[in-house]
Amino acid sequence: MKHYLVLLLFLPLNSYAVDAGGEVVEWYISEYAPYFDSPNPSDAAAIKGFYVDGHFQHVGSDLYVMTNTEEEWSSYLKDEIEAGWTGSEVVSVSPITLNSSNVALTVKWLRKGSGEVCHWYLVTKNKDRWQFTNLVAGVTCATD
């Protein structure tokens, strides 16, 4: 009987944690991804809000600590446009809920002209809103 009481005490926490993954997937698809369907350097201020200041960005073997300025994001968006992100769409989002405040996402994008590309994110609930703390660009896409 004691074991069932312990299980019941933790059940609500686990249920909430499971919901966090679905919440982050919806947030990613409805709020963040549309900026990369039609990227525009003028969206730098809005995109900046999706990331914590000082987030980590891993590209290949390089690690960057991003200062998260509007100028940095404007430049990044210009680079993304040149790289072919215009008209890109999310193919799949796979969450791993770590706890009620942290979710890891693997996102598969379809880029016009260059095919599928996948990114991995760590997303944290920060002052009642989800924000990226880590991005690993260009991870190997899992085969479906």
Query: Model confidence over 77-129: pLDDT tens digits?
Result: 898 888 777 788 899 999 999 999 999 999 999 987 778 889 999 999 988 89
pTM for the whole thing? 0.80
Check residue 38 and report its DSSP letter. S
| Whether pLDDT at 2 is above 60 | no
Check residue 73 and report its DSSP letter. H
Query: Model confidence over 3-48: pLDDT tens digits?
Result: 433 333 333 444 444 489 999 999 999 999 998 888 889 999 999 9
98 token code pair: 């770590």
One-letter amino acid for residue 79 of the chain: D
Q: What are phi and psi of 22, to 5 degrees?
A: -65, -40
Task: Give the domains, in start order, of the chain with CATH numbers.
Answer: 2-139 (3.10.450.50)
Q: Is 127 left (phi over 0), alpha (psi -120 to 50) or beta?
A: left
Closest residue by Cα to residue 27 from 37, 16, 19: 19
Give dist(CA 15, CA 9) in Å, integer. 11
pLDDT category of residue 144 using cuts at 50, 70 and 90: low
pLDDT at residue 72, as a whole number: 87
77, containing H or E segment: helix 70-82
Residue with tokens 């686990």: 14
Q: What are phi and psi of 111, to 5 degrees?
A: -95, 130
